[in-house]
Amino acid sequence: MLLRHTPKEIKERSALVINPAKTCQPVGAMYAALGIHACMPHSHGSQGCCSYHRSALTRHYKEPAMATTSSFTEGSSVFGGQANLIQAIDNIFTIYEPDIIAVHTTCLSETIGDDITQIGRKAKDDGKVPEGKYVIHCNTPSYVGSHVTGFANMCKGMVDYFSEKTGEKKNVFNIIPGFVEPSDMEEIKRLVSAMGIEFIMFPDTSGVLNGPLTGHFSMYPEGGVTIEQLKATGDSTGTLALGDTASSLAAKTLDTKFKVPCEILDLPIGLSATDAFIDTLRKVAGVPVPDSITYERGQMVDLISDMHQYFYGKKVALFGDPDQLVSLTRFLLDLDMKPVHIVTGTPGKKFEKTIQDLTADLPYTVNVKESGDMFLLHQWIKNEPVDLLIGNTYGKYIARDEDIPFLRHGFPILDRVGHSYFPTVGYKGGIRLLEKILDLLLDRIDRDAKEESFELVL
């Protein structure tokens, strides 16, 4: 057994986290910053932070994840990181020539209290920021929130630094896609375009972290939201924020600063969340839903209907990020599956309440925990076994020990590919999720069937 020391008996822990279901803020900020065109994310801290985050992103996307670091030493930790950051800014613009440097902090620079706004201003005054280039930042103390919080903070940073209001309202919608895959961002763009709606999506990592092999390395691939687009977000008619935890902060900032109203929606994963997304788009933009989208929806419903017997009543344990978990839970309920254990490492009391409300009609109480960990999830599973586990790659240890079919979903996925190319959002993405879940459940039926009941047709 790989997790041989995990006991069934659950003891309350107040200090020790075991097998976390989250990581720290900066990696989320780095990911979001990669969704700006020609941007160099910069980690203001020790080299290790940047190295770890780049490694995690590279392993997940199987793509270059470029980012620089302030390379703190003991001296900079004592005297402050201003000199390091200014030198870094100079070097980055000289050597790597991005249009923007997007700085995020770390627990180190936050603890010593470096003021990035002031340092950025000094860099500019010292002539280290070339004309027409930008240094933006957000604060991402690793001891607050999680990687999702970091993503949210960098989205807010984009608004803080770029969004402008010219006074001329445009029939354009801002879309903040949430901490999802490049393929998901691409799919959201396809759906919104199909509805004939003009939009600005930020951040947008499609075309950055799922690029082709051409024989030429490009530090700044074609994808990513542009500075012009970011500036224009203040003139948009409204903002759709997908995923409360990842996207609402930037959306609300646009509302407060520029009176751009916002709708905060669940990530469009699964039937009802995608329905809500499309229906909201239709209403806010005042456009009809094209037949092509209704057709895709119908295909998804067809598949649910065709295979309902295999989904019905299956117990599921899930872990990951709040926004994904809320939508996935709704989807499981759409399918008459039974979510029984749900854990996120990301703190926030709202999460438990949302899940409890969603599952209020179930004839049992769902185990749900924010600031939880995978050790607790595993213990819950030992006490009440499940038919399916959904979560990031780290779940494979539980899945193997407990012999549970395992669907990889979320961040990070280190041992499988596909997530960069095939979305799980929208109806098409929902169909892919259904296919994956079915593959797992049906493979299990095939594996466990007695010879006489081993069926050709399922």
> Which residues, numbered 217-236, are part of the site for other proteins (CB under 8 A)?
217-218
Among 98, 104, 106, 191, binds other proteins (CB under 8 A): 106
419 near other proteins, judged by CB under 8 A: no
- Compute the least distance from the CB of residue 6 to other proteins, in Å: 8
453 near other proteins, judged by CB under 8 A: no
79 near other proteins, judged by CB under 8 A: no
46 near other proteins, judged by CB under 8 A: yes
349 near other proteins, judged by CB under 8 A: no
CA–CA separation, 436 and 294 (whole Å): 22
Among 173, 179, 220, 394, binds other proteins (CB under 8 A): 394
72 near other proteins, judged by CB under 8 A: yes
Where helices occur in 138-226 by DSSP H, the ranges are: 147-162, 182-194
Residue 131 or 452 with smaller CB distance to other proteins: 131
**C-beta of residue 260 within 8 angstroms of C-beta of residue 233:** yes
Tokens representing residue 451 in the block: 């010879």
CA–CA separation, 316 and 323 (whole Å): 17
CA–CA separation, 170 and 238 (whole Å): 9
118 near other proteins, judged by CB under 8 A: no
**C-beta of residue 45 within 8 angstroms of C-beta of residue 69:** yes
Please identify, among the stretches 135-143, 360-368, 427-435, 448-456, the one whose residues bind other proteins according to the rule CB under 8 A.
135-143
64 near other proteins, judged by CB under 8 A: yes
80 near other proteins, judged by CB under 8 A: no
- Compute the least distance from the CB of residue 370 to other proteins, in Å: 13
Residue 47: partners with Cβ closer than 8 Å, 6 or more residues away:
69, 71, 72
At residue 416, the 3 state secondary structure works out as: coil
CA–CA separation, 343 and 422 (whole Å): 25
Amino acid letter for position 243: G
Residue 438 CB burial class (10 angstroms; 0-12, 13-18, ≥19):
middle
**Number of chain positions touching other proteins (CB under 8 A):** 84
- Compute the least distance from the CB of residue 164 to other proteins, in Å: 28
Residue 145: partners with Cβ closer than 8 Å, 6 or more residues away:
25, 346, 347
CA–CA separation, 19 and 2 (whole Å): 13
Please identify, among the stretches 79-87, 241-249, 305-313, 424-432, the one whose residues bind other proteins according to the rule CB under 8 A.
79-87
Please identify, among the stretches 141-149, 237-245, 350-358, 437-445, the one whose residues bind other proteins according to the rule CB under 8 A.
141-149
- Compute the least distance from the CB of residue 457 to other proteins, in Å: 37
**C-beta of residue 54 within 8 angstroms of C-beta of residue 41:** no
CA–CA separation, 153 and 23 (whole Å): 15
DSSP 8-state assignment for residue 21:
S
DSSP 8-state assignment for residue 360:
T
Among 132, 213, 360, 450, binds other proteins (CB under 8 A): 213
| Residues between 239 and 298 that touch other proteins (CB under 8 A) | none
62 near other proteins, judged by CB under 8 A: yes
- Compute the least distance from the CB of residue 156 to other proteins, in Å: 18
58 near other proteins, judged by CB under 8 A: yes
378 near other proteins, judged by CB under 8 A: no
Among 125, 143, 451, 452, binds other proteins (CB under 8 A): 143
Where helices occur in 213-270 by DSSP H, the ranges are: 227-232, 244-258
Please identify, among the stretches 209-217, 248-256, 421-429, 431-439, the one whose residues bind other proteins according to the rule CB under 8 A.
209-217
2 near other proteins, judged by CB under 8 A: yes
